[in-house]
């Protein structure tokens, strides 16, 4: 009996490790690509002494984003199970890939679109972020986690900027851009959908075995 329990626990931990590793890699890749866009458009500025050659990113940016992606991606399916509300809306990889494409588009818009002020851009990105959630998620847990992630990540970013780790040009919301919470919200929903899909694939594999 103990051997069976140990085998089950080992399988669970191995599954979590594998899913976390995939999510970490996805977070690192998205961080490098999206940060490059922000730096090229002079939206974010890093001190010269901390900027590495890899995609013009400080070394800690991909590590932090990869770790955050792993935590968020594992948290979403866990919360779904805890609430007893398994997420079944648009559960296929094609939908997940479209969600990623929309998220990248929202980030692209934050750097490329020219508005009279940041407030107009923020309202536009807020509408796009809510549209992403409505199109690819529509769960209460997904919305709640997205808002929580946006709140916490914005505070952490403000602390980093306040301490001179890096800075935003034309800040209008306590050292950062007012549209930043929209990016974090849509990013949380996107990574959450990836984590849910990975969890579902793992469950289907276990059933087949």
Strands 167-168, 44-45: pairing kind: antiparallel
**Which residue would you say has higher pLDDT here, 72 or 62?**
72
For 109-137, write each residue's pLDDT tens digit: 887 777 777 788 889 999 999 999 999 99
pLDDT over threshold 60, residue 51: no
Residues of the chain with pLDDT > 70, as a percent, come to 79
pTM: 0.85
Task: Tell me if residue 90 falls in helix, strand or coil.
Answer: coil
Average pLDDT over the chain reads 82
- Find the mean pLDDT for residues 178-186: 93
Question: Residue 204 — very low, low, confident or very high, per pLDDT cuts 50/70/90?
Answer: low
Cβ–Cβ under 8 Å, residues 80 and 196: yes
Cβ–Cβ under 8 Å, residues 66 and 28: yes
Distance CA 141, CA 77 (A): 10
What angle (nearest 5°) sits at the alpha carbon of residue 159, between those of residues 158 and 163? 115
């Amino acid at each position: 009996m103990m051997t069976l329990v140990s085998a089950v626990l080992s399988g669970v931990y191995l599954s979590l490790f594998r899913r976390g590793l995939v999510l970490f890699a996805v977070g690192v890749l998205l961080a490098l690509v999206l940060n490059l866009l922000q730096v090229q458009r002079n939206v974010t500025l890093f001190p010269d002494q901390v900027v590495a050659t890899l995609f013009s990113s400080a070394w800690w940016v991909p590590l932090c984003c990869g770790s955050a992606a792993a935590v968020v991606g594992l948290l979403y399916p866990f919360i779904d199970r805890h609430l007893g509300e398994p997420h079944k809306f648009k559960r296929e990889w094609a939908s997940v890939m479209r969600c990623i494409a929309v998220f990248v588009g929202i980030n692209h818009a934050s750097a490329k679109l020219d508005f009279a002020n940041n407030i107009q851009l923020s309202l536009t990105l807020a509408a796009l972020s809510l549209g992403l959630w409505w199109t690819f998620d529509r769960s209460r847990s997904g919305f709640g986690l997205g808002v929580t992630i946006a709140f916490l990540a914005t505070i952490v970013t403000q602390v980093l900027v306040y301490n001179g780790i890096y800075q935003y040009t034309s800040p209008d919301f306590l050292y950062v851009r007012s549209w930043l919470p929209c990016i974090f919200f849509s990013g949380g929903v996107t990574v959450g959908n990836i984590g849910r899909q990975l969890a579902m694939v793992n469950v289907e594999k276990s059933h087949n075995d």
